[in-house]
Structure 1
Amino acid sequence: MLTVAVLISGAGSNLRALLEAASDPAFPARIVVVGADREASGLAHAEEFGIPSFVVPWRGGDQRAEWGDELLAQLDVWQPDLVVLSGLMRLLPPAVVAAWSPRLVNTHPAYLPEFPGAHGVRDALAAGVTETGASVIVVDDGVDSGPILAQERVSVLPGDDEHSLHERIKPVERHLLIDVVRRIAIGELDLDLAAASTP
């Protein structure tokens, strides 16, 4: 059984989808802990499903490394097989990436390498494209630059704004994330091979 830690910053819609999937006895992974960089509303999902949680308040600037060390200490307590970033709106310090990658995955609301960064949906609209997408990647030291594990296209419709487009991307992100976690758990997706095959 694959054990998973999920890190969030906000409402945790992807987290909830994973919790619901993992509550099925046939699903080959279990969430063992949920962490956040602030008192995020999504922690309520963990409480509802009886999953332990922790908060390591974000410390920017010259305290970013110390924040990363505290995060590592929390993860070490739980020793998950996989860490999922589910709307964690922070770039992880290099020490965290070094310790966990490639067992560290993230979702992104764009068809990478198109529109990386914090405003993927807004940037797609600004570029005037007719389609964007969602991706699940291995986290590396770059910004949304790690090996791509799964992705799917989403059409940009006439009249879309950032909210409406993002609302259509979110279910695709959830479906991709759940499937990636399932494939890792059953050995169908090898994260070491995925990382090694990317230049």
Structure 2
Amino acid sequence: MTATAHLVFNHDTCRMKLLIFIITLPLLLLASHDVEARKIRQSLKVTTMKEAKGKSGTKKDNDTVKGNDNYPSIEISLNYSDSIQFTLDGKDLLFHKRDLQFAGYDKGISSSRESFFLINRCPFNINGIAIRINYYDMQSRMLHSRDVTISCDIPAGETRKLDIPTWDTQHTFYYYLGNAPRRVASPYKVTILPLRLTITSHP
């Protein structure tokens, strides 16, 4: 009788373990499926954020490019001709170098900047200019030459003062038409040549 009871007990234990396994198996599978689903959703979310960031960056770049000027603009080279005919915003325009004038150049002995006036007699607005400045001593021997690009906003028919960093970093030269310093210094002359213009039509 003792042996028989022991066999029955083992049989019932096996049935119980099998029943527990059958009940818990779907729960385990469901939990595993939820974990994988969360991983997939998180992966999709990260990818979507990266794509959105990339699209946002592209849009920002495009806005920056389009936002540089509110009106149609063009860059023209002035190296080879005294007059240039071109089309801007559907209008035929004519540029003469004589309509672009520089005046009032100045640089004192202790100044860290050079200044001059740009007179715009052209029928369009100037938003940028590239110039070549040649520096000479009083015997017309070249001391230095450099190209400078300047951002500006000069409406048609108006004048603006422009400032640029000086070439004379040692402060040993002064412009000959300016005030002569008390200490020993060398006077110099300049020529300013326009190279390129960035222009816009009238608003």
TM range (shorter): under 0.3
Give the number of the structure with larger relative contact order, counting CA–CA contacts within 8 Å between residues 6 or more apart: 2
Higher-helix-fraction structure: 1
- Structure exhibiting the larger radius of gyration computed from Cα positions: 2
- From the two aligned structures, give the one with the greater strand fraction: 2
TM-score, normalization by structure 1: 0.24
